[in-house]
Amino acid sequence: MGFEMMAAGVAYHLCFLLLVTQVQGSNFDVKAYGAKANGMTDDSKAINSAWKDACAAKEASTVVIAKGNYMVGPLKFEGPCTAPVTVKVQGTLKAPADPKRLRDDWVAFRNVEGLTVSGGGIFDGQGAIAWSVNNCAKTGKCNSLPTNLQFTKLTNSKIEGITSLNSKLFHMNILNCNNVTFQNIVINAPKNSLNTDGIHIGRSTMVNITGATIKTGDDCVSLGDGCQQINVEKVTCGPGHGISIGSLGRYHDEQPVIGVTVRNCTLTNTENGVRIKTWPASPSGVASNVNFEDIIMNNVSNPILIDQEYCPYNNCLAKVPSRVKISDVRFEGIRGTSATQVAVKIVCSRGLPCQNVFVEDINLVYNGKEGSSTSLCANVKPQVSGKVFPATCTPSA
């Protein structure tokens, strides 16, 4: 009897120690859940289990992913949670290199209020194989590959100081979020990584991007339909395709884009600068109250661009005008060098011309053999003020 009581006491003591190890100071250390962090063992189960317990905790808690290399399949950080949760990533998380091993997004944060993701860690999508099989240019379909980080239905949350590396598709996809800040973000992928938008935002309100270094193979920042009260500042972009609103008008029932500010950004050797793009033959849509301010362009193709004839794969009705209404757009304090002679191109829909486009204090220099920088406009009457070079053109229609 005494032996049984002693054994029971030892078992209780071990369970207590395990509980203390896992929950010490409201910290849920994934290594206490069995994560090996050796770069070979699949640590997905351990990390998902630590999240589940932290999400259920009655007080604010932290999931700790300490330094080390974690091989992980899909990670699902799903709420709702009982209290705010921080995911502190200090190590490197690596996705399976073979895209066939991931049927959905790689790392997903969904339906959480008061989430913080921080720690300076790295999310390595190991996307090289995926890029080699991505045939977007032929099919126009690019959505079958997993994103690195999916943020869906987050509220009052902050993502800071993390790195997304070599994603198979988009690096960070933000959907149906409200009041979320992204700060001091690093995104890194080579120029040939197809369709790897750095930060894509859709159908979200009050998203703030402040401080990001983005090198990728597509748009550094892109905004889809339904974006309202979006602020993008202190972004360094290049290589990449620039900072874009759109494309808009490809699908029915798209929501308006209203209230976007892009300011104090630097773009270097990018395929575009700041742009709004909509498809021809589109359903009705709206993009309004958009401000691009204090932007530096270093050898950028198409530094200022509104393109309502966007048709990248030549599989659209190009002769039918876009029905996305663009209005109240301001380009102000944009300066630097253009890699193409047409530094300002504002081509609006002939069926629904742009309204209230303001161009102020622009200085974009082209040093090519063709001559000085020029501008091209269609279906718009820009309102010009301050010193503007090249001189903004008279509309052709």
DSSP-derived secondary structure letter, 101? G
Reported as a single tens digit per residue, the pLDDT across 329-369 is: 999 999 999 999 999 999 999 999 999 999 999 999 998 88
pLDDT at 72: 98
pLDDT at 1: 41
Q: Which fold has domain 87-99+109-389?
A: Pectate Lyase C-like (2.160.20)
pLDDT at 16 over 60: no
pLDDT at 31 over 60: yes
pLDDT at 3: 37
φ/ψ (deg, to 5) at 7: -60, -45
Q: Are 280 and 320 in contact (CB under 8 A)?
A: yes
Reported as a single tens digit per residue, the pLDDT across 368-390 is: 888 999 999 999 999 999 999 99
Rounded percentage of the chain residues whose pLDDT exceeds 70: 90
Reported as a single tens digit per residue, the pLDDT across 189-247 is: 999 998 999 999 999 999 999 999 999 999 999 999 999 999 999 999 999 999 999 99
Residues 6+ apart with CB under 8 A from 195: 134, 136, 142, 145, 169, 170, 217, 218
Which stretch of 38-47, 72-81, 287-296, 311-320 has the lowest confidence by average pLDDT? 311-320
Residue whose structure tokens are 């045939």: 135
Mean pLDDT across the stretch 66-82? 97
**Confidence band for 312, pLDDT divided at 50, 70 and 90:** confident
Choice between 20 and 85, residue whose per-residue pLDDT is larger: 85
The per-residue pLDDT of the chain, averaged, comes to: 91
Strand pairing category for 199-202 and 75-78:
unpaired
Mean pLDDT across the stretch 168-191? 98
Mean pLDDT across the stretch 307-326? 90
pLDDT at 324: 98
Q: Which residues pair with 231 in a beta bridge?
A: 208, 261
pLDDT at 4 over 70: no
**Confidence band for 316, pLDDT divided at 50, 70 and 90:** confident
Sequence spans of domains, the chain: 87-99+109-389
**Confidence band for 143, pLDDT divided at 50, 70 and 90:** low
Q: How far apart are the C-alpha atoms of 208 and 233, rounded to whole Å?
A: 8
pLDDT at 396 over 50: no
pLDDT at 12 over 50: no
Q: How far apart are the C-alpha atoms of 58 and 304, rounded to whole Å?
A: 50
Closest CA to 382 of 360, 358, 353: 358
Reported as a single tens digit per residue, the pLDDT across 79-114 is: 999 999 999 999 999 999 999 899 889 999 999 999
Annotated catalytic sites, by residue?
241
Q: How far is CA 313 from CA 67, 198, 206, 309, 364, in A?
A: 43, 21, 32, 12, 29
Both tokens of 46, joined, read 């351990």
Which stretch of 149-163, 185-199, 381-395 has the lowest confidence by average pLDDT? 381-395
Both tokens of 207, joined, read 């998203």
Q: How far apart are the C-alpha atoms of 333 and 277, rounded to whole Å?
A: 21
